[in-house]
Chain A
Amino acid sequence: MTHAIEIKDLHKHFGANKVLVGIDMLVEPGQVVCVIGPSGSGKSTLLRCVNLLEEPTKGHVHVEGIEVTDPDVDIDAVRRRIGMVFQQFNLFPHMTALQNVMIAQQRVLKRSKRDAEVVARENLEKVGVGDKCDSFPAQLSGGQQQRVAIARALAMNPDLMLFDEPTSALDPELVGDVLAVMRKLAEEGMTMLVVTHEMGFAREVADRVVFMDGGVIVEDGPPSQVIGDPQHERTRSFLARVLHPEGG
């Protein structure tokens, strides 16, 4: 069976700033992998290398057996199979929620308007914003916007989903709605790579937790190990800061 994501010796430099220095990682189909770590550790960059929003400096990334780092690959075709959810939602502000979810189906998958609308309404319903179809993003709360963004990605029937700190820009009381949707996706067997600071979510939902620091993977294992019983000092001190921010 092919791996959902296979990353080999991945490096990414921004000028002199070496953000990723040799990442090796596997994600199997149906797995939920949470990537945690301090800010600036390269988590988001790693995620963005998977669908080539960032061009790796060196190394290989395979998605469903296709090498995305191959210069001859049709990257648009690969991206179609990878859903991505951003910290800042990035909904298209000039379109309604429904249009946001329909547009790529129509333009990229060439679905008819009617089919696209059926799929869009289904997915908006699924993430709990079925009553907001005709609202523009500016009229929605952050939590609603992020759920529309998830529906937009799901409508493309992706093989896997990337989440780049999906709840970091949300007011605390709205985080739960988005996490609930992600939990439901995980239960349905969606392959998910999630960069997050939500330790509770990682502990309960993830099959594996990856702790990154300084552009390398420090620790990789089941949540009970990485969060429950971390082996490395760096992981321990990070978790201490995240779980007890008051210094208790």
Chain B
Amino acid sequence: MAELPRTAEPARARLSPRKKQRISRGIQYAVLIAALVGFVFYADWPSLAQNFAKPDVAAHALPDLFTIALRNTIIYTVGGFVLSAVFGLLLALMRLSTVRPYRWISAIYIEIFRGLPALLIFLMITFLPLALPGFEVPFGTYGQGILGLGLVGAAYQAEIFRAGLQAVPRGQIEAARSLGMSAARSQVTVVIPQAIRIVIPPTTNQFVALLKDSSLVLFLGVSGQYVELAKFGNDLASQYANATPIMVAGITYLIVTIPLGYLAGRLEKLKGTGR
């Protein structure tokens, strides 16, 4: 073997990459510790506790926090979710239709409702009776909230369904058709069962998004029996001039959203293992 020419000790560069990395990591830890120490020493703990975690104010939130606020959040979310799933499926099928105008209508709807802030949709809904005299959204405030969430959610859900249906390989339909199944039968027996598996994880994420967006019901001017978590927290916070109820509402959201997010992750992994 030919010997490599030795040029001025290349391995002895001033700082080896590994050394550099070690120093960089040391600096990052130092910054973190300094920030923590600063926070612990300089934060006004009594004042923070007084404003954000006052036990007696938190106690006032019970039991309405669960019996009214969380209950309503779930009603708005589940209602909006069901509406968005039904409407979203219709939009997805239109998007994949062989009839061109259906594709256009669906595409336009999806672009508009994904492009607008959900808040704007809710504000529009409050003006519906003005725009259409005599028109009233059924089921009152519940209906309005569910309509708003359903209209926005349908646009996203339609895209999830479309992607799911398109993700089933073309060869699956060909195999079904070559066995003599009709087009509709192939969809029901072969495509849709596979699409459902693909669609479940993103749909779970979409449900979490709707749950958070249900806070926009606040802008419908709801009160009393109809308030959901955000409005409930905000009202109590004003009443006691204290932020604790908002913290409490936030924690209540997390109690629901974090397990759901975890579930979506699990489902995603499950899908990866086939079947």
Contacts and interface: CB of A to CB of B under 8 A. Distances in A.
Interface string B184-211: 0100011001100100000000000000
Contact of B178 (A53, A92, A107, A138): A53
Contacts of A51: 178
Interface string B151-178: 0000000000000000001011011111
A86 B275 contact: no
Interface residues of A, number: 27
Contact of A80 (B180, B190, B194): B180
B197 A94 contact: yes
Given A77-B180, A93-B275, A107 B189 contact: yes
Contact of A86 (B175, B182, B197): B175
Interface string A122-160: 000000000000001010000000000100110010000
Given A79-B178, A136-B274, A153-B179, 9 more contacts: A53-B178, A76-B180, A86-B171, A86-B175, A91-B175, A93-B275, A94-B275, A152-B179, A153-B178
A136 B177 contact: no
B180 A108 contact: yes
Nearest to B180: A80
B181 interface: yes
A107 B171 contact: no
Contact of B171 (A88, A109, A156): A88
Given A86-B171, A90-B172, A107-B189, A156 B194 contact: no
A139 to B, nearest CB: 8
Interface in A182-209: none
A237 B181 CA distance: 42
Given A90-B172, A93-B275, A79 B189 contact: no
A100 to B, nearest CB: 9
Chain B interface SS verdict (over half)? helix
B172 A92 contact: yes
Contacts of A152: 179
A152 B182 CA distance: 17
A190 B194 CA distance: 33
Contacts of A86: 171, 174-175
Contact of B193 (A80, A94, A109): A94
B180 A156 contact: yes
Closest 8 pairs (CB-CB, A-B): A80-B180, A90-B175, A104-B179, A84-B178, A138-B274, A90-B171, A108-B180, A79-B180
A149 B193 CA distance: 19
Interface in B88-137: none
Contacts of B197: 94
A103 B181 CA distance: 10
B179 A108 contact: yes
Nearest to B172: A90
A160 B152 CA distance: 52
B270 to A, nearest CB: 13
Contact of B275 (A82, A107, A109, A138): A138
Nearest to B185: A107
A156 B175 contact: no
A79 B275 contact: no
Interface string B26-51: 00000000000000000000000000
Contacts of A83: 178
27 contacts: A53-B177, A53-B178, A76-B180, A79-B177, A80-B179, A80-B180, A82-B178, A83-B178, A84-B175, A84-B178, A86-B171, A86-B174, A92-B190, A93-B194, A93-B274, A94-B193, A94-B194, A104-B181, A107-B181, A108-B185, A136-B275, A138-B274, A138-B275, A149-B175, A152-B179, A156-B179, A156-B180
